Amino acid sequence: MMQPISRKVIVYIAMSIDGFIAGNNDDLSFLSIVEQEGEDYGYKKFLERVDTILIGRRTFEKVLSFGQPLPYSQKKVYVVSTTLQENRDLIDGVSDNPVDLVSSLKSQYGLDIYCDGGAELIHTLLKNNLIDELIISVIPTLLGNGIRLFKENGPMCELQLLSVQPYEKGLVQLHYIKK
Amino acid sequence: MMQPISRKVIVYIAMSIDGFIAGNNDDLSFLSIVEQEGEDYGYKKFLERVDTILIGRRTFEKVLSFGQPLPYSQKKVYVVSTTLQENRDLIDGVSDNPVDLVSSLKSQYGLDIYCDGGAELIHTLLKNNLIDELIISVIPTLLGNGIRLFKENGPMCELQLLSVQPYEKGLVQLHYIKK
C-alpha cells in the first residue's frame, strides 16, 4: 500500500515586530538590519525540504525586480495571478485559483511546498486551511506602515510552537505548525 | 550632584502572532490558551520594577469589568481619557494629554512606568518617542480580527532585542529596548 501524501505548505517570511512584511512602496530595506555575512537564517536548509514554490504575482514581480535569476534553483515555481502575461517562461505554471492549485499540488507526490507570499496569497490559503506551517522571522524594528503579513478578516486558528531561534542581529525565528 | 532621572516607560502586553491584543468585541479569551497553574510569565517580577501604571480609558474600563480589585496594588495609576467621570476614586490621576503626563512623570523621581495599553495610548506614546521598552508576549494563535497592537501610521524605529523567553504553552516573550 502506498503512503498517503502529506506535502506541507509552509510560509517562510520575515516581518517587523509591528507586523509588516514591507514598508511603504514595497520597501524591503528594513531587512538590511539583520544582514550578516555567512548567516542565511536557515534559508538554504529550509529550501532542501521543498521542491515547489508558490508565489503571488506582485511578490513574483518584486523578486524579478532585483535583476537576479530567481532564487529557487531546481524548484518548480507557480505564480498565482489573474493577469500575468510576461515572464511565463521563467515559471512552471500560473493559476488564478490558489485553492485549486494547492489542492492539486497536495494530491501529487513531492517534497513540501514553500509559500513565499505575498500577504494576499497567504491570506487566501490561510482562510482555506491550506497552510500547514509558518516560519516567521521577526525583525527588531517598527516600520509603522506598509504591507501587513496578516490582513483583516483572517481565520482564527490555534498554532503549536515548534521552535524559537534567536540570532545575533536580533532576529527571532518562530516556527509554528497548525494544530 | 544628583543622578539624572531615567524612569523608563515599558509596554508589557500580549498579542496573537497576527498582531491582535484582543479579538472582536474586546474578546480576551485567546489568553486562556497559555494559562498554566503557577506560571505568570514574569508579570509579578516585572511589577517589582515599576511604581506607576499608565492605562487608556477603554482598557481601564475593561480591567474594571472583570469585577476584581485593580491588579496594580501599591502602584500609582493614571488613566488617559478625555471623558472619564466614574471610578476616579480608584486612581491617582486622569489626563487627556498622555504626552504631557508622561513627560511630567519622567521628570519626577520614581521607579519605572508600566504602560498597560491600549493600542491607542501605545500608538500616541510611540509616535512621541515616549516608550523605552516593549515586552511582548506572543500567543500561539491567529485571531483574524480585533484590536491590533500596532495601528497604521506608527513610527519607524529600530529596536534592540534584549531577550527571548519561550514557555511551555507556546508563548514567546520578546523583550526589546528602543535604540
**Structure confidence at residue B71 as a pLDDT band (50, 70, 90):** confident
Q: Rounded distance, CA A53 to CA A11, Å?
A: 10
Mean pLDDT on A147-168: 97
**Structure confidence at residue A115 as a pLDDT band (50, 70, 90):** very high
Q: Does residue A149 belong to the interface with chain B, where contact is any CB pair within 8 Å?
A: yes
**Of chain A residues 51-70, which have a CB less than 8 A from chain B?**
none
For an interface test with A, give the residue of B134, B150, B151 to mutate (most A CBs within 10 A).
Answer: B150
Q: Which fold has domain A9-30+53-178?
A: Dihydrofolate Reductase, subunit A (3.40.430)
Cis peptide before A118 (omega within 30 of 0): yes
> Cβ contacts (< 8 Å) between B33 and chain A: which residues?
158
* Average pLDDT over all residues of chain B: 94
pTM: 0.95
pLDDT of residue B133: 98
Mean pLDDT on B26-53: 96
pLDDT exceeds 70 at position B91: yes
- Calculate what percentage of chain A has a pLDDT beyond 70: 98
Residue with cell 521542491: A51
Instruction: Say if the Cβ atoms of A157 and B142 lie within 8 Å.
Output: yes
pLDDT exceeds 70 at position A19: yes
Q: Rounded distance, CA B64 to CA A25, Å?
A: 42
- Calculate what percentage of chain B has a pLDDT beyond 70: 98
Instruction: Say if the Cβ atoms of B159 and A23 lie within 8 Å.
Output: no
Q: Which CATH architecture has domain B9-178?
A: 3-Layer(aba) Sandwich (3.40)
pLDDT of residue B2: 60
- Closest residue by Cα to residue B59 from B16, B100, B22: B22
Q: Rounded distance, CA A101 to CA B136, Å?
A: 37
- Calculate what percentage of chain B has a pLDDT beyond 90: 87
